[in-house]
Homo-oligomer: A and B are copies of this chain.
Amino acid sequence: MSEPLENGSNYTANKYRTPDGAPADIVIFTITSKERNAAKKSLPQRELQVLLIQRKLWPFEGQWALPGGFCKESETMYDCAKRELAEETGVADVHMEYFNVYSEPGRDPRGWMISHTFFALVNESLLLNRRAADDAADVRLFTVEKALKMDLAFDHELVIKDALNRIQHKMLTTTIAREFLPQEFTISELYQVIQTVMPGFEERNFVRKITSTQSRKGIIEEVRDLHGDLKMSNRYSQRAAQLYRFNDYVPQLSIYS
C-alpha cells in the first residue's frame, strides 16, 4: 500500500489531497397499496416507490435528491446511513444494505465527494408520519418510473437505477420480499410484491411450486392458530386464503446443479 506520506513511526499530517467528504445516500424503497374500485373485494394495486427529498440549498437547489448525509469520523458508513434514514423518515430496524460507491470526479460541485449508497426496504406503514427534515424543502414518495424521468440532483438517477437492478435481482434470489410484507401474508400478496418489483415476473403454478415442491417448501410455512388450525385471511377476497410466514431458510441457488 502506497501511503501519502511516510516517515517511520512519525506519521504526520497528510500532505496529499484528501476527499472533502464521505456522504452516504439511501435509496428508500416502499410498495404502496391502493384499493382498486371493483365490484367485490379485490387485490390492491401496488406500486414500487422511492422516497426523495427536495433540496433547499445549493447545489441543485430546488431539485429532488436521495436522502443522505455526511459520515462522521466516529461512525461507520452503515451507522451513518442508519442515522440519516432515521433522521429523514423516523424509521429504524429496517432492511438496509450497502450496494455501491460513486466516485466519478466532478460528481459533486462542492468538491471531492465519494458517495456511499445503500438501499432500504420499508413497509409502507412505517413511512406514514414522515416530515421534511431541516435541510429539505419537501419529502415525498415517487414511483420509481416517475423518479427516473425527473431531473434529479447529482448522479442520483444512476444510483436509483443501480439500486433498482440490485433489488430486482435480490427479489428473485433471496427472500427480501418479506421486507415489503406483513409477518403473515397470503400467496397472492407475495406474488404481487414480486411482480411489483419485477414487472416481467410470471409463474403460473406459483402456489404449487412454493408450497409443495421439495426444494422450495422450506421458504415459507403455513400459519396456524392456537388450536393448531390453519389461519386464513379474507382481506382481499371472498374465499379466505391461507396465511403464510417466511422461514429463515434460504435455498442455495446454483447454475451447476
Please report A residues at the B interface, Cβ cutoff 8 Å: 1-4, 6, 8-9, 11, 14, 16-23, 25, 53, 55, 57-59, 65-78, 84, 98, 100-101, 103-105, 109-112, 114, 116, 133-135, 172-175, 194, 201, 203, 206, 209-210, 216, 219, 250-257
Contact = CB atoms under 8 A, between A and B. Distances in A.
A253 B256 contact: no
A254 to B, nearest CB: 4
Contact of A255 (B21, B53, B110, B172): B172
Nearest to A98: B101
Contact of A111 (B14, B71, B116): B14
Number of copies: 2
Given A2-B134, A111-B14, A71 B103 contact: yes
A253 B254 CA distance: 7
Contacts of A98: 100-101
Contacts of A201: 256
Contacts of A25: 1
Which 8 A-B residue pairs are closest in the complex by CB-CB distance?
A172-B254, A253-B253, A77-B103, A2-B69, A6-B57, A76-B103, A73-B112, A2-B135
Contacts of A76: 103-105
Given A14-B20, A172-B253, A77 B65 contact: no
B255 A73 contact: no
Contacts of A219: 255
Looking at chain A's contact residues, the main secondary structure is loop
Given A11-B110, A203-B257, A135 B18 contact: no
Given A1-B135, A3-B70, A109 B253 contact: no
A151 to B, nearest CB: 16
Nearest to A253: B253
A156 to B, nearest CB: 10
A197 to B, nearest CB: 12
A77 B59 CA distance: 23
A14 B21 contact: yes
Contacts of A67: 1
A53 B2 CA distance: 11
A4 B70 contact: yes
Contacts of A250: 255
Nearest to A75: B105
